[in-house]
Chains A and B, each alone.
Chain A
Amino acid sequence: MRVRSLAGAVAALGALVLIDQIAPRLLNPYFVTILSRIGIAVIAAVSLQLVNGFTGQFSIGHAGFMAIGAYASAALSVFAGAEGLELAATFVPISVARVAYFPLALVFGGLAAAVVGIFVAVPALRLRGDYLAIATLGAGEIIRIAILNIDAVGGARGFSLASSAHPAVDLRFEGLGGVFAVAALTVLAIARLVYSGGGLAFRAVREDETAAESIGIATTRVKVEAFLVASFFAGVAGALFAHSEGYIHTNSFGFVRSFELVVFVVLGGLGSISGAILAAATLTAAPELLRGLGDWRMVLYSLLLIAMMLSRPQGLLGQRELWPISLLTRGSR
């Protein structure tokens, strides 16, 4: 690896440790929660940007994949992870066991979401435009209602991240370092995937499918790829959410959440990773900070969206990126 990349990685690691350790001591716990939510929103938004912004497929049921990731990883933790951790604690310090286990739970959530993603993508991506949007909306709702009917993960009561068999094991992972590390990795992965020679296929499909086919790009496969990668990361975001909140309910993964994610990528600019990050961060923080506005919050939110679409439909950044992204993707753009 080149010296510059190594230095960069070390610096990033240092920053993460700093955030993880210092932030909770300096900031009000409420703000720490907001930061954590921002991290999760960024992961979900950037993953959706791959499908909507870069591949041009209008998916509006993305929260369904977050739900899969959340519930699958939570189920893993409650029904297997707790026992495993307790066992491991006899060999190694519990903190080490937890640090080792946490990525497993995340990846499991991501993979579960990706598997469901295949089932949604293969049929849905045969459709275009409005029809695809409605299909993804339908898929998201079906997923949500299906989970709601699974009693083993709580059903209408929601699901707590606590194992009744192993009550002493803490299954929550609230460290900001973890959230931001995953967020950084997500941004890195998706940015590098898209801004590469092979990644040009995504944008080619967005620009003109017929022309893309004519130069040898298998457009359906590219769309499915985008969908899979996106649902994987959405699942990871859901898993992070489950393990930081400690309690999940399908109400958090309904159409309103899906729509929020769509707002992030559209307002940020369809086709801009930096835009999605900015929008996700701002729009996640603002309502929390403006909590005093109560119900007016959502009214303002929707007014903002409408005003944006009427006056600046290309969003904040359009298809442009801010320089940190090109930092990550040096070598091909």
Chain B
Amino acid sequence: MENLLEQLLNGIQWGSIYALIALGYTMVYGVLKLINFAHGEVYMVGAMVGYYAAGFLGVADAPSIGALLIVLLASMVACGLLGALIERIAYRPLRGAGRLAPLITAIGVSLLLQNAGQLVFGADPKFFPPLIRSEAALRIGGIAVSNIQIVVLVTAILLMGGLQYVVRRTRFGRAMRAVSYDAPAAALMGVPVDRVILGTFVLGSCLAAAAGILVGLSNPKIDPLMGLMPGLKAFVAAVLGGIGSIPGAMLGGILLGVIETLVTGYLSSTYRDAIAFVILVLILLYRPTGLFGAPQTEKV
């Protein structure tokens, strides 16, 4: 029983990471109908920037919540810029060029970031400084919950809550939803579609950056290729929840994290990475629109 609780907790922890990354995929797909393959690399850059920022700002030796917040902010700003840059240079020129060209370009950007990352950051793994001193903070149901786990969960919840607020209660959020439903109509209504899309990329990238920092906190070993698998898995999470649906991405992420952890814990760890893809294939076969997605019909 304790083992199950522990697994669940780990699963939810990883699941929130997936959820944060998945949100970026789902929002961009919502407004552009594009799978931003490069998104996983933004998460990686987030972790890297956090690493260098922590070193540069000297907070590596002074762990505290404040240090975390500063590094978080620095990383989110950097990645927000990166996301905006990618959209502007690689995707915007291909608006209206069909579905294939942007998809291929996205994969190209992903490869570029991975390999440039290896050149710039060095291919060897780095160790993310402990921005928060790890200590067992709580005991729930007989298992120890570390303060880092609490920080990760709380941060993730706050960020997701913040996103929900933006999407549901602000003008920008309304504009984003309008563009998702019907971009041409939104444009006719005076919505600045280009800026909304740019903003969507920035938002998604900020969340991915945060995910990178949170992973750095809990799994300190980071390297330039760390974005590939989590990126793909977060994408699966987005599809699981229904690509284009924000609550879907959140739920999909948590679900994927929990399933992955449970299967790895109780069955086999060698198939860990395969689980996400099996879920992907099952979802695509039996419910392609995901848990919260709406079925689409084509007019002949």
- A associates with B: yes
Question: Which of A146, A298, A306 counts the most chain B CB atoms within 10 A?
Answer: A306
- Interface readout for A42-54 with B: 1 if CB under 8 Å, 0 if not? 0000000000000
B188 within 8 A of A: no
- Could you say which of B93, B112, B235 contacts A303, with CB atoms under 8 Å apart? B112
Hey, which chain A residues are within 8 Å of B285, CB to CB? 123, 126
A139 touches B274 (CB 8 A): no
Hey, which chain B residues are within 8 Å of A266, CB to CB? 100, 104
- Could you say which of B35, B115, B274, B300 contacts A134, with CB atoms under 8 Å apart? B35
Hey, which chain B residues are within 8 Å of A303, CB to CB? 108, 112
Hey, which chain B residues are within 8 Å of A295, CB to CB? 115, 118-119, 123
Closest to B112 in A: A302
Give the contacts of A251-304 with B (CB-CB under 8 A).
255-256, 259, 262-263, 266, 270, 295-296, 298-299, 301-303
A313 touches B97 (CB 8 A): yes
Closest to B285 in A: A123
Hey, which chain A residues are within 8 Å of B101, CB to CB? 309, 313
A210 to B298, CA, bound (A): 11
- Could you say which of A138, A141, A263, A302 contacts B109, with CB atoms under 8 Å apart? A302
- Could you say which of A135, A149, A298 contacts B280, with CB atoms under 8 Å apart? A135
Hey, which chain B residues are within 8 Å of A80, CB to CB? none
Give the contacts of B5-28 with A (CB-CB under 8 A).
none
A145 to B269, CA, bound (A): 12
B70 within 8 A of A: no
Hey, which chain B residues are within 8 Å of A135, CB to CB? 280-281, 284
B300 touches A149 (CB 8 A): no
B185 within 8 A of A: no
A305 to B94, CA, bound (A): 14
CB-CB under 8 A for A134 and B104, given A145-B271, A149-B270, A313-B97? no
Hey, which chain B residues are within 8 Å of A142, CB to CB? 274, 277-278, 281
CB-CB under 8 A for A302 and B281, given A134-B235, A146-B274, A309-B101? no
Hey, which chain B residues are within 8 Å of A262, CB to CB? 104, 107
Closest to B113 in A: A302
A301 to B112, CA, bound (A): 8
The distance from the CB of A289 to the nearest CB of chain B, in whole angstroms, is 19
The distance from the CB of B91 to the nearest CB of chain A, in whole angstroms, is 10
B63 within 8 A of A: no
The distance from the CB of A173 to the nearest CB of chain B, in whole angstroms, is 32
A145 touches B274 (CB 8 A): yes
Question: Which of B35, B114, B235, B274 counts the most chain A CB atoms within 10 A?
Answer: B274
B194 within 8 A of A: no
B90 within 8 A of A: yes
Hey, which chain A residues are within 8 Å of B300, CB to CB? 210
Question: Which of A139, A259, A270 counts the most chain B CB atoms within 10 A?
Answer: A259
Q: List 17 A-B contacts (CB under 8 A).
A: A58-B100, A127-B288, A130-B33, A130-B35, A134-B35, A135-B284, A138-B284, A142-B274, A142-B277, A145-B274, A149-B270, A298-B111, A301-B115, A302-B109, A305-B105, A309-B108, A313-B100
Residues on B facing A (Cβ under 8 Å): 33, 35, 90, 93-94, 97, 99-101, 103-105, 107-109, 111-112, 114-116, 118-119, 123, 228, 232, 235-236, 239, 270-271, 273-274, 277-278, 280-281, 284-285, 288, 300
Q: Which 3 A-B pairs have the closest CB atoms?
A: A302-B112, A298-B115, A305-B108
**Interface contacts beyond A130-B35, A262-B104, A313-B100: sample of 5 additional A-B pairs, CB < 8 Å, sorted by A:** A134-B235, A138-B280, A309-B108, A310-B93, A310-B94
